[in-house]
Amino acid sequence: MIKIAKIAFLTTVFTIFTAPLLIVAGVSLNEKKRMFFPPDGLSLRWYPEIFEEAKWAGALTNSVTIAVCAGLLAVSIALPIAYFLWRHRVFYAKALFVLGLVPFALPPVITALGMLIFWSQAGYVGKLENIILAHGVFLVTLPLVMISLGLESIDEELLEAARTMGADGRKLFTSVIFPMVLPYMIAGYAFVLVLSMNEYIISFFLGQHVTITLPVQVLSSLRSGYTPVIAAVAVMFILLAVVIFSLIARFSDLPKLLGAWSPKE
Amino acid sequence: MSDATENTTVASVATEDDELVTKPGILGSIKRFPFSIYPTLMLGIFFFIPFAIMIAISFAHRTTSTYEVGFEFTHYARFFSPLFTTHVWVSVQFAALASLFALVVAVPFTFFISRFRRKSQVVSLVFVLCVLTLSEVIVAYSLSVVLGRQSGLPSLMEAFGFVDRAKSWYPSYGANLFGLSYFNIPFAVLILYPACTRLDRELTEAAQTLGASPVRTFFTIVLPMLEKTLLAAFILLFVFTMGAFVTPIWLGRPEDTMMAQLIADQALGRGNVPFAAALAVFFMLVTLALSLLTVWLRRSDKTGVAS
Amino acid sequence: MSGLELQNISKRFGSVTAVSDINLTIPEGRFISFLGPSGCGKTTLLRLIAGLETSTTGQIVLDDEDLTNKPTHERNIGMVFQSLALFPHLSVGENITYSQRIRGVDKPTRRKRADELLELVRLPGVADRNISQLSGGQRQRVAIARALALEPKLFLLDEPLSALDAKLREEMQVELRILQERLGITTIIVTHDQREAMTMSDEVVVMSTARIAQMGAPLDIYRNPASAFVAEFIGTSNLLNAQQAGDNKVTIEGQTFETEGFPDSLKPEDGIIVSVRPEDVHVFPESNEGPNRMSGTVTFLRDVGASVETFVQCGDVQIVSMATPKDRPDVSKGDNVKVELPAESCVVLKA
């Protein structure tokens, strides 16, 4: 009885979450420029348009550039903070760490407005690099938390062992610490990548209709009239997330990254 | 568990607060690790300064087209205007209901997946992460497809003859609430997941050997042990929902406008940056206060679950 | 009959067989240990009895009632877990009377029962404390009290003492056994500590790789191990490769020895191992001749005060002898000695 109820509940939840995405995938296959489900005729013709039509291709290039750079930026800020706190345990390091946690805890509209005002004051608006910087800072929390988790999991005795074998501070970092936190850095980078690709409101505020990212383009296309390219883009986003998170799950300890208690076995 | 575990628990709680034995000044700290100057500058320039400017501008004087330096509370005073209070109230309602619905689904869901074998657990987590990170734009659009006239449930209802002519189910209050809850569930799962994995399996088994059915076990053991985590999760979800932007635009009616839209509308639509800044500052303070509350709640919960 | 009966119980997890075709009868009121190394299936067997796992095949019968398909919460058992599994959000008293609360017993009655049970486990007056305020040994007692609150038909313990330090553990073993005798409740304890099993139980079930290796009274098993595995797991033993030499005689290192006798099932072509307990082995100076002796050299002496162990290398085999300080052999490291393996102590096992 209980078991059946449990399975029914889990199935329902999984279905409710998958159904809209599957329907969108179906809609993206429509032959004509309509939004039918089940699709009216089958065609993949809307997918190439993402790369061919200027407004979609431009938005895609922007989004990818922003995501790739913002990821690097976020990790480059997170690594020294996490290392600083882990090695030195001074109050200032803790303060930097907390400061790094704040952006993500705030609703993104606040960051968006703050950055908009900042760049307006500087007289430098609508630039791609503004969005990169904003995403890099806004999403720094994820690699920060993950890299700290990685550093905390390094056994102090390992470092002592390396020291007895003659590793100095620098060698210790390059030969022991860095390789051990690398998986966590990559995971953190991947999280930033996916979230930056999907981020709407900061890109919208800072892009100022000059630099347009994919999510911004999707919403404006939705407003100006429907095209199945939108569904195709949505499917692309879903696939991107599936691929990246599957890779993370494959190459690192996903439950641990998400804060699971290390299992006893 | 044992004396040993008890000691480590005590130790880990102690380290959290007492480990920072050294408090050299900022310069002294940077000297220890000169590389820290880089994150200091990055966060300082691109996070701290923008916020400082925003706070300054929330007190600025608005002119017809832009604003000038000043120190006045006019923008904060506008909080008491009906325009503002109605929408804050609407946002609070949506945020509270959507967070509650999300928790009702997410608590049993997370508890179950935390009991899965490792492999199924990882697959479920990948699934949850995929849904979580999907752009609000994509989720809102997908739901609009489901709720729309041509492709979704309404057309299904028509096909089965429940209604004569299908009508789109959005935009509406219900569609917006559904969208917000949908968007919240994966987030709720990730917030609850660590606490659920910390619930020792032997505790629920012990309850069953003592005669509690699985349902009784869930209500007498699992829920009470998660009490503070649930409260913290509710607050985090509440804050998260308050910042929703695309969902209410796309699935809600004009009267369902929420906080983030209000700020965007003032800043971009009406060019009233100082008022938008004042709204954002207010929003930020409330958020920070609530976040601190959750930090405190989770910390006090951890000792209870771990021992 | 009254008591617990396990009939053909097997449990597979995927391709792994954790418990394989176990048949076992435990009369009412007995204290039984499941003893074995980690991974031998002893915990799985206990969890099957508790209903925390469902068996792949077989039946579990308690007092003529088939429990096999009954969920845990309807089985009326008391169980003490390895982690103790005390509920951190409940006080000591609330923990102990949780089972009564589930059955709708009113508060004053529960309170009275909590005090009684705390009295029983010799921990009076702590009902209102938090679990986190108790020491390890006190928690142990609370867990035991909680499991006994409903006077269950079966009392199950899964390595309950493993978290305690050695001294406290020995005290608790004695106390637990006295408590069980007083209550007369059928009890099963899972342990990997042979000393613990021998201290407490009427009968020991030695398990190895999902099966029962031997069961019987502790001293019987110690004196007459059925296999080399049991001989080595219960206490320590000198296990010597040997050949059959007919007429209850064996050859070890080319020398013939008398034994207590061959097992009935032994066929002439079977390989054999001879097991001799260290306390039965005697060491003499080299000149001292006699039957059942072999020559060797002392390689090491372990003198820990209460006992002396003499390590003797005899050709390719090492033999350990243990003696009390009073009977300590007069030899030192490097001496050539004679080692006596008394015939009545040489247990012949199938290899």
Name the residue ranges covered by the structural domains of chain B. Answer: 1-57, 82-306
Q: Are C170 and B44 in contact (CB under 8 A)?
A: no
d(CA B256, CA B241): 13
Looking at the structure, tell me whether residues A204 and A148 fall in a common domain.
Answer: yes
Name which residue leads in pLDDT, B152 or B132.
B132
Interface contact C72-B208, CB threshold 8 A: yes
- Please give the residue range of the domain that contains residue A28: 1-43
Please state the domain count of chain A.
2
Q: Are C216 and C237 in contact (CB under 8 A)?
A: no
pLDDT tens, B8-49?
333 333 344 445 556 677 787 887 888 888 999 999 999 999
- Cα–Cα distances (Å) from C44 to B92, B209, C50, C145, in that order, read 51, 15, 10, 24
Looking at the structure, tell me whether residues A107 and A162 fall in a common domain.
Answer: yes
Contacts of residue C142, Cβ cutoff 8 Å, sequence gap at least 6: C84, C86, C92, C95, C96, C118, C121, C123, C126, C131, C134
Looking at the structure, tell me whether residues A16 and A67 fall in a common domain.
Answer: no
* Substitution target from C16, C67, C84 for chain B, most B beta carbons within 10 A: C84
Ramachandran region, residue C211 (left: φ > 0; alpha: ψ -120 to 50; beta: rest)? beta
For residue A202, which amino acid is it? I
Residue B79 has which token pair? 């909080």
Nearest to B151 among A35, A89, A260 (CB): A35
pLDDT tens, A182-237?
989 999 999 899 899 989 999 999 998 889 999 999 888 888 877 788 888 888 88
Residue C81 bridge partners (DSSP)? none
Looking at the structure, tell me whether residues A128 and A170 fall in a common domain.
Answer: yes
Torsion angle defined by CA atoms of residues C215, C218, C219 and C223, in that order, rounded to the nearest 10 degrees: 40
Contacts of residue C345, Cβ cutoff 8 Å, sequence gap at least 6: C260, C276, C277, C280, C281
Is the Cα dihedral A6, B191, A189, A115 positive or negative?
Answer: positive
- Cα–Cα distances (Å) from C72 to C61, C63, C151, in that order, read 14, 17, 16
pLDDT at B259: 86
**Taking residues A148-169, what's their average pLDDT?**
87
CA–CA–CA angle B96, B130, B154 (5° rounding): 65
Interface contact B43-A140, CB threshold 8 A: yes
Residue A263 domain flag? no
Beta strand pairing call for C154-158 and C77-80: parallel
Length of chain B: 307
d(CA B66, CA C146): 72
pLDDT at B300: 67
Q: Which residue of A has its CA nearest to B102?
A: A13
Residue C214 has which token pair? 């031997």
Q: Are C297 and C334 in contact (CB under 8 A)?
A: yes
Interface contact B303-C77, CB threshold 8 A: no
d(CA C149, CA C97): 7
Looking at the structure, tell me whether residues A132 and A10 fall in a common domain.
Answer: no
Where does chain C have alpha helices with state H? 42-50, 92-96, 98-102, 107-120, 136-148, 166-183, 194-200, 218-223, 228-233
pLDDT tens, C136-145?
889 999 999 9
Interface contact A106-B276, CB threshold 8 A: no
Mean pLDDT of chain C: 91
Residue A265 domain flag? no
Per-residue pLDDT for C60 more than 90?
A: yes
pLDDT tens, C181-215?
999 999 999 999 988 999 999 999 999 999 999 99
CB contacts < 8 Å between A and B, how many? 270
Looking at the structure, tell me whether residues A6 and A104 fall in a common domain.
Answer: no
Residue C349 bridge partners (DSSP)? C273
Residue A222 domain flag? yes
Looking at the structure, tell me whether residues A37 and A126 fall in a common domain.
Answer: no
Per-residue pLDDT for B301 more than 70?
A: no
Per-residue pLDDT for B277 more than 80?
A: yes
Looking at the structure, tell me whether residues A118 and A15 fall in a common domain.
Answer: no
- Write out chain B residues lying below 8 Å of C83, CB-based: 1-2, 200, 202
- Write out chain C residues lying below 8 Å of B120, CB-based: none
d(CA B4, CA B49): 47
* Substitution target from B59, B141, B189, B247 for chain A, most A beta carbons within 10 A: B141
Residue A174 domain flag? yes
Mean pLDDT of chain B: 82
Nearest to C99 among B1, B210, B213 (CB): B210
Phi first, then psi: what are they for B208, rounded to 5°? -70, -35
Residue A262 domain flag? no
Give the residue from B277, B227, B250 showing the smallest Cα distance to B144.
B250
What CATH code would you report for B82-306?
1.10.3720.10
Looking at the structure, tell me whether residues A1 and A114 fall in a common domain.
Answer: no
Beta strand pairing call for C308-314 and C347-350: unpaired
Q: What CATH number is given to the structural domain containing A173?
A: 1.10.3720.10
At B228, is the pLDDT very low, low, confident or very high (cuts 50, 70, 90)? Answer: confident
At C299, is the pLDDT very low, low, confident or very high (cuts 50, 70, 90)? Answer: very high
**Taking residues B180-209, what's their average pLDDT?**
91
Per-residue pLDDT for B209 more than 90?
A: yes
Is the Cα dihedral B162, B163, B166, B167 positive or negative?
Answer: negative
Q: Of all residues in chain A, what percent carry a pLDDT higher than 70?
A: 97
At C115, is the pLDDT very low, low, confident or very high (cuts 50, 70, 90)? Answer: very high
Residue A48 domain flag? no
Name which residue leads in pLDDT, A168 or C92.
C92
Ramachandran region, residue A231 (left: φ > 0; alpha: ψ -120 to 50; beta: rest)? alpha
For residue B95, which amino acid is it? A
CB contacts < 8 Å between B and C, how many? 94
